[in-house]
Amino acid sequence: GQQVMQIPQYQHVQEGEDFTTYCNSSTTLSNIQWYKQRPGGHPVFLIQLVKSGEVKKQKRLTFQFGEAKKNSSLHITATQTTDVGTYFCAALGVNDYKLSFGAGTTVTVRA
C-alpha cells in the first residue's frame, strides 16, 4: 500500500471559520478517497478523486487532487459543530488493491 502523510493531526476551529487538511504521498496515486469518522463511530465515505487537478465540492466541503496526483486537500468553509470528527484521506497506488489511510485530522469546534 501507499504511505500517506496527513497534516495537521489536530485542528481546533472557531465556529464559522475555515480550515484545510492536507494529505501527501511520495509516489503517484491511482486515486484518493476521503472519509469522516464521528467520535465513537465508523469511517464514512465522503468522496473519491481520480483525475489530476480534480476539484469536487460537497456543500461547504471542497476536495482537491494535486496536478501530480501525489497530494490532496480538504477545505471546509464556515465550520459548524456538525463538522466535528476525524477526517481521513486514503490512497490507492497504481495497480494496488490496498487502500492505505493517513493518520487523520481530528477536528474540534468552539461554539
Partner 1 sequence: NAGVTQTPKFQVLKTGQSMTLQCAQDMNHEYMSWYRQDPGMGLRLIHYSVGAGITDQGEVPNGYNVSRSTTEDFPLRLLSAAPSQTSVYFCASSGRWGYTFGSGTRLTVV
Smallest distance, partner 1 to C-beta of residue 111, A: 25
Nearer to partner 1, 13 or 46 (CB): 46
Smallest distance, partner 1 to C-beta of residue 99, A: 7
- Do 110 and 13 form a contact (C-beta atoms < 8 A)? yes
* Residues recorded for the chain: 111
Site for partner 1 contains 108 (CB under 8 A): no
Site for partner 1 contains 9 (CB under 8 A): yes
Of residues 18 through 57, those in contact with partner 1 by CB under 8 A are: 33, 35, 41-48
Binding site for partner 1 (CB under 8 A): 1, 6, 9, 33, 35, 41-48, 88, 90, 97-104
